[in-house]
Amino acid sequence: MEETSILTIDGSYGEGGGQILRTALALSAVLGRPVELTKIRAGRKRSGLQPQHLSCVKALAEITGAEVYGAELGSSRLYFVPGTITGGSRRFDVGTAGAVSLVFQALVGPLMFAERASTLILAGGTHVPWSPPTPYVSQVFLPMVKRMGLEADWQLERGGFYPKGGGQVRAAVQPLPQLNSIDLTNRGALLAIRGVSAVAGLSRNIAERQADRIRRRLADVGYTVEIEIAELDADCPGDIVFVWAEFEQTRGGFGALGERGKPAECVADEAIDALLDFLADDAATESHLADQLALFMALANGRSVLTTARVSRHLLTNLWTIQQFLPIEVLLEGGLGEPGRLTIDGAGLKASSWRARAAGSAPACVSHLDR
């Protein structure tokens, strides 16, 4: 393969984190386009590929039969030459407390273009800092992409907290001909507020205190909540609160992790404060969901639109990465840290012809209009 056919992505762009790697490799897999990533995670204190990122590279390489060069711990440069996406049953061990949710989100886009269904066992961290906890995937992320036609499942089998990890999730992704566009400009009516307060290797009383705090905080402002108290099996102690709001058209979810010396009530307050901020706004998505939906909007058929409570640097970086691969129109209204409106005219990729559509594509630029 000629070197000129390889697309080079600067991993230091924008927030310079792992999202560039995951999005670039997912699009490389979907489009069948070789990619070179340079300056990987240059924006992070520990730059280069860390164990979690290596797990992601290896997982995407396995489902595509890719040739990979530079997949080593600490590497700042990677070549990824994908083959054909294949479904089937696989197990991926992310290692210690590496986030299984981030690996899954990198895999789900390519796997929906596989020739058959995929079943995944993902081992590692299920409730760890700086990543979506398992209830976010099952109660927020997947319900929203299912609105676009994707059929996928996510079941927690064992908890995995920092630092030991050891958790396990069983996931499934069904192939589909084409993603549908989505309109997330309005929330619709509030249907329910739900939550989970869970502990592993700690007193159930901690989970009960967190649940009580959530009920009282929400009751004080006129809301009711259905909350589950759970005790998880895990290799090391852990504590999590996750609350989410279900609207007619959208969902928003917020979590907090316990730590030594942090009272149960403070854990609950952290999640509830974020939820109440979202409920007081009228945007259809919170900033994390907007970022996670961008790739699917780009692959979908037709124009997708969403409003978000806050334009994040993560979102700006993800949009830039997407448009290095796809010649699509993207309009983002709203400045960094402000409410925003994102419109994407999707590429309309089809499972039967995605490689042909990728031929000859050229990168475009993000239109970013400050309010």
**Strand positions, DSSP E, the chain:** 7-10, 35-38, 67-69, 78-81, 88-93, 118-124, 152-158, 167-173, 183-184, 190-200, 226-231, 238-247, 251-257, 301-308, 329-333, 340-347, 367-369
The pLDDT of residue 353 is 59
How far apart are alpha carbons 296 and 299 in whole angstroms? Answer: 5
**For the chain, what's the residue count?**
371
The pLDDT of residue 156 is 98
Rounded to 10°, the helix 18-31/100-111 angle is 20
Q: Is 290 annotated as a binding residue?
A: yes
Q: Is 105 annotated as a binding residue?
A: yes
- DSSP letter for 140, please: I
The answer to whether 169 touches 157, Cβ cutoff 8 Å, is yes
- Report the candidate in 186, 191, 155, 187 with the shortest Cα–Cα distance to residue 173: 155
Ordered by start, the domain boundaries in the chain are: 1-82, 85-176, 190-280, 283-371
Q: Which CATH architecture has domain 1-82?
A: 2-Layer Sandwich (3.30)
Tokens of 95: 């290692």
The pLDDT of residue 361 is 42
The pLDDT of residue 83 is 96
19, 81, 136, 296 from 291: Cα distances, Å: 10, 26, 14, 10
Q: Is there a catalytic annotation at residue 314?
A: yes
How far apart are alpha carbons 147 and 26 in whole angstroms? Answer: 21
User: pTM for the full model?
Assistant: 0.93
Of 53, 127, 314, 368, catalytic: 314
How far apart are alpha carbons 46 and 136 in whole angstroms? Answer: 26
Tokens of 10: 């600067």
Neighbours of 44 (CB within 10 A): 15
Per-residue pLDDT of the chain (371 residues; tens, 9 = 90+): 344 489 999 999 999 999 999 999 999 999 999 999 999 998 888 889 998 899 999 999 999 999 999 999 999 999 999 999 999 999 999 988 899 999 999 999 999 999 999 999 999 999 999 999 999 999 999 999 999 999 999 999 999 999 999 999 999 999 999 999 999 999 999 999 999 999 999 999 999 999 999 999 999 999 999 999 999 999 999 999 999 999 999 999 999 999 999 999 999 999 999 999 999 999 999 999 999 999 999 999 999 999 999 999 999 999 999 999 999 999 999 999 999 999 999 999 988 655 444 444 444 444 443 32
Q: Could you identify the residue written with the tokens 């996406």? A: 85
The answer to whether 302 touches 349, Cβ cutoff 8 Å, is no
The answer to whether 311 touches 283, Cβ cutoff 8 Å, is no
Q: Is 324 annotated as a binding residue?
A: no
Amino acid 257 reads L
Q: Is 50 annotated as a binding residue?
A: no
Domain 190-280 has CATH 3.60.140.10: no
Tokens of 271: 């999640």
Cα radius of gyration (the chain): 20
What residues have CB less than 8 Å from 90, skipping those under 6 apart?
59, 62, 63, 118, 119, 120, 121
Locate all alpha helices (DSSP H) within 178-222, ordered by sequence.
204-220
The pLDDT of residue 96 is 81
Q: Is 345 annotated as a binding residue?
A: no
- Per the DSSP assignment, residues forming a β-bridge with 244 are 194, 253
**Strand positions, DSSP E, 27-77:** 35-38, 67-69
HSE, side-chain direction, 13 A CA sphere, residue 236: 17
- Residue 215 three-state SS: helix
- Per the DSSP assignment, residues forming a β-bridge with 165 are 161
Instruction: Say which CATH topology domain 85-176 has.
Output: UDP-n-acetylglucosamine1-carboxyvinyl-transferase; Chain (3.65.10)
Q: Is 106 annotated as a binding residue?
A: no
